[in-house]
Structure 1
Amino acid sequence: MQIRKSAEDYLEAILVLSKQGGGVRSIDIATMLGVSKPSVSHAMKLLREDGYIAMDRYGTVTLLEKGNDIAVHIYERHTVLSKMLEHLGVSPEVAKEDACKLEHDLSDESFARIKEHFHKVIGEVE
């Protein structure tokens, strides 16, 4: 499950957008991530070639199993880390930004301990 941070961000964005209902299109991803449409098109091409996503003839993006696995993994990290930082008194905006930075580089071991600790302290964090 070793892919680039930017690819993880794209997969996470697809997951979040798909949870909002409706089809996910490249323009939605570009808007959410604040990147250009050509950047998204290039990323979608690479993710499709590597078997992380599928796109239908209308441009609707769907996560395939291995893409979904990574997206869920990153989204969980983002959610837990954001809530942890907010619980520590960090503003929601800063907590979200910092969680984005941490979610990619934190080891699985450290994340598991953080999640376990905050589950004990504040209850369910997901």
Structure 2
Amino acid sequence: MNQYYTFNEYIKEHELTPSEEDYIEMIYRLYLEDNDIKVARLAKSLNVKTPSASNMVKRLQTKELLIHENYGKLKLTSRGEFIGKTLLLRHNAIEEFLKIIGVNNNLHEETEKIEHTISNETLKNIIKLVNFFNENNEILNKYNNYSPLK
């Protein structure tokens, strides 16, 4: 028999909070554009106030995911960079999956909601499905043209 829990019980095993993940992912995204990342730029990119971003930077520094010199650049540690790359790959895979199944409205919002709660097993299978559809356009076209109401 299945054991049921509240949502919070299912996600409490995560090492990082959804907000921490968002910050690491954004720092990694910004780093791919230009490695001159400062707190103000990070705050602007995430649409938060600079003091909020500064507080999160301190938390992430405590977790040894980034290095920050006062009023200086932010730099991900090797572990932070690995996590950032993984989070961006996760985001992109989920977004691509949602596009494949026809989600158009609020695509970014839907991706954000899903990415913080998905298991590695589910993500692995989503990536497999996305790759399958990308390699088999004829099947993707059949899916896109399918209408159970015909």
Which of 71, 84, 105 is the equivalent residue of 2:117?
A: 105
In structure 1, the partner of 2:44 is 31
Q: Deviation string for 1:18-63 (max 9, x for gaps)?
A: 1111401111111111111111010111111221000135421011
Whether the 8 Å CA contact 1:25–1:61 is kept in 2: the answer is: yes
Give the number of the structure whose alpha-carbon radius of gyration is greater: 2
- Residue identity in the other structure for 1:100: E
TM-score of the aligned structures, taking structure 1 as reference length: 0.89
1:33-112 alignment to 2 at 5 Å? 33-91=46-104, 94-112=106-124
The SS at the match of 1:72 is helix
How many angstroms does 1:72 deviate by?
1.2
Percentage identity across paired residues of the two chains: 26
**Quick check: 1:118 aligned with 2:125?**
no
| Cα root mean square deviation, aligned | 1.5
1:62 aligned counterpart, secondary structure: strand
Equivalenced residues, count:
122
Q: Which structure 1 segments of 5+ residues have no match?
A: none
Question: Is the 8 Å Cα contact of residues 74 and 104 (structure 1) preserved in structure 2?
Answer: no
Q: How far apart, CA to CA, are the structure 1 residues paired with 2:49 and 2:70?
A: 21
